[in-house]
Structure 1
């Protein structure tokens, strides 16, 4: 009987330890972008970083998304384990019931809270070095590829119109995936792309062909109503000076349904693992605490606790 009793006690202890481990494990669903996009790849990196940085206590499952609007809309039905990415402007539109959210409002939108910034969508106007293009005026009469249906394509077309180039640039009807090959073959003089920097297609073009990425003036940036961003000199092969361009900030969000401790641990682990992620993918090196200024809404109290501990200032509006 004594041996049997000891076995029961030992079994109970093992079960208790297992239950404790299960209770300590935090499971998060992270909804980002389409699987083919760089932002889906970032989501996978974040999932790996969370597991590594938390010693396996934070497990992130990455879900494919059809876009940022869908990510925001799903907050209406999701719980406290939901994290998603979107530009801050879409959160503002959702909370105001405007644009694509008109007639689709929900009290849940007012519960959206920011955690941390991720790499911004950064505009690149890339031209061949031998095309003789030094500024946007130089695009007149040139063959430029802007792609189809993407944020970069829409933004590129908008900029050409804003800067008086609508109808003066020959837009080449080719998929953006073919841009580097078309540039090499001389079929186009340049292309427009939007993504986190350094952008893989710009890296390839700079290394194989030799390119210039055009800078925008302060007046041009003001016309676009986008966020100013500087790509440091040396980011791309042959780039000797900073590139001044525009960006669309992107942020990881959750809602007030997430408890403060979970939000704190997610935010702390993200920032502690960011340098390691940057060793694998350079786009993380463009993220720093300065990007927090692009968050126009409120930051989750758990995340704010981390920023307070780290000595990172938040605005009154973000609390």
Structure 2
């Protein structure tokens, strides 16, 4: 009887070890993205497939409510990695603005800045500068959205408060329709350029794309390190015949701090080996843009990302 007991114990131990080993091998990292019709989901799905097929790291993309939702998931380890706006990551890590009620999310780490989402300010003819927005009717995005905070911060750099404008809270398509119909004078749109709402508007109505000069970019960056200079090239939209300087936030991959360095390295390596065939946004990626001023980032970069950078930087 004792011999049988020992045999059963040995078999059980072996089975547990086998299942544990198998489970480790099959474990997939959860990549929180966005809605299934959006860029975040398409980009995240492409990167998940590339990483899974070409490295030892296995990743599956999941549909979510995008930036704020993704950060909460990663911080609680309900997702391992995610794509978010870097300004929202800043609010999360510092427990400010969008995350004032949730508190600081200190478990998140940046993997890299993947592509730009410029803060575009679209105005009717006759409004030629941000200073002209004082007293105007301006849509600043949905209430409590990242766009609304971007608008508030950019206007504040020019000493313009929401009290100095007739504020409207419309989404991008609603804003474009309202400008087309003469119901508003301008709107903020934080999205890749060109973006459909502005492209469609510019084909039917003359628009201005308002610029932010270097001095005001510096004012913004002195408080919010997530803003980066960006230029929308002439010809991006109908009627925009000169380059327009502005600021951009970045679509950013984050990871939980406990995701392994190897997994983070593999994800980055897959992104850098991707092409526009996988997703058009991969064309924007460069080592310089991915790690722009990383040493001074409020949200720390993941050790695996730093390892990748140090291995691939020149010199």
How far apart are 1:204 and its partner, in Å?
2.3
Pick one of 144, 148, 156 that aligns with 2:151. 156
| In 2, Cα distance between equivalents of 1:92 and 1:151 | 11
Contact 2:110/2:255 (8 A) holds in 1: yes
| In 2, Cα distance between equivalents of 1:96 and 1:190 | 31
Classify 1:56/1:188 alpha carbon distance in 2 versus 1 (closer, same or farther; 3 Å).
farther
| In 1, Cα distance between equivalents of 2:168 and 2:110 | 39
SS of the aligned residue for 2:274 comes to helix
Structure 2: unaligned runs, 5 residues or longer: 1-20
Alignment of 1:232-247 (within 5 A): 232-233=232-233, 234-247=235-248
Moved more, 165-174 or 97-106: 97-106
Question: What's the counterpart of residue 138 of structure 1?
Answer: 132
Moved more, 222-231 or 33-42: 33-42
How far apart are 1:223 and its partner, in Å?
3.0
How far apart are 1:276 and its partner, in Å?
3.0
Classify 1:293/1:272 alpha carbon distance in 2 versus 1 (closer, same or farther; 3 Å).
same
Contact 2:43/2:279 (8 A) holds in 1: no
Aligned residues: 283
Alignment of 1:57-68 (within 5 A): 58-65=58-65, 67-68=67-68
| In 1, Cα distance between equivalents of 2:179 and 2:204 | 10
Moved more, 132-141 or 300-309: 300-309
SS of the aligned residue for 2:28 comes to strand
Question: What's the counterpart of residue 72 of structure 1?
Answer: 71
TM-score by length of 1: 0.70
RMSD of equivalent CA atoms: 3.7
| In 2, Cα distance between equivalents of 1:104 and 1:157 | 21
How far apart are 1:104 and its partner, in Å?
5.4
SS of the aligned residue for 1:126 comes to strand
| In 1, Cα distance between equivalents of 2:262 and 2:137 | 53
SS of the aligned residue for 1:183 comes to helix
Structure 1: unaligned runs, 5 residues or longer: 1-19, 314-319
> Deviation string for 1:168-224 (max 9, x for gaps)?
533345443222223333333322111233323222223343422111012222333
Question: What's the counterpart of residue 201 of structure 1?
Answer: 197
How far apart are 1:309 and its partner, in Å?
4.0
| In 2, Cα distance between equivalents of 1:91 and 1:256 | 14
Question: What's the counterpart of residue 263 of structure 1?
Answer: 264
Question: What's the counterpart of residue 185 of structure 1?
Answer: 181
SS of the aligned residue for 2:128 comes to coil
| In 1, Cα distance between equivalents of 2:189 and 2:175 | 9
How far apart are 1:64 and its partner, in Å?
0.6
Classify 1:196/1:258 alpha carbon distance in 2 versus 1 (closer, same or farther; 3 Å).
same
1:127 equivalent to 2:123? Answer: yes
How far apart are 1:246 and its partner, in Å?
1.8
Contact 1:29/1:62 (8 A) holds in 2: yes
| In 1, Cα distance between equivalents of 2:137 and 2:102 | 41
How far apart are 1:43 and its partner, in Å?
2.6
Contact 1:275/1:285 (8 A) holds in 2: yes
1:222 equivalent to 2:218? Answer: yes
SS of the aligned residue for 1:264 comes to helix
| In 2, Cα distance between equivalents of 1:308 and 1:158 | 34
Classify 1:189/1:251 alpha carbon distance in 2 versus 1 (closer, same or farther; 3 Å).
same
| In 1, Cα distance between equivalents of 2:128 and 2:268 | 42
Question: What's the counterpart of residue 307 of structure 1?
Answer: 309
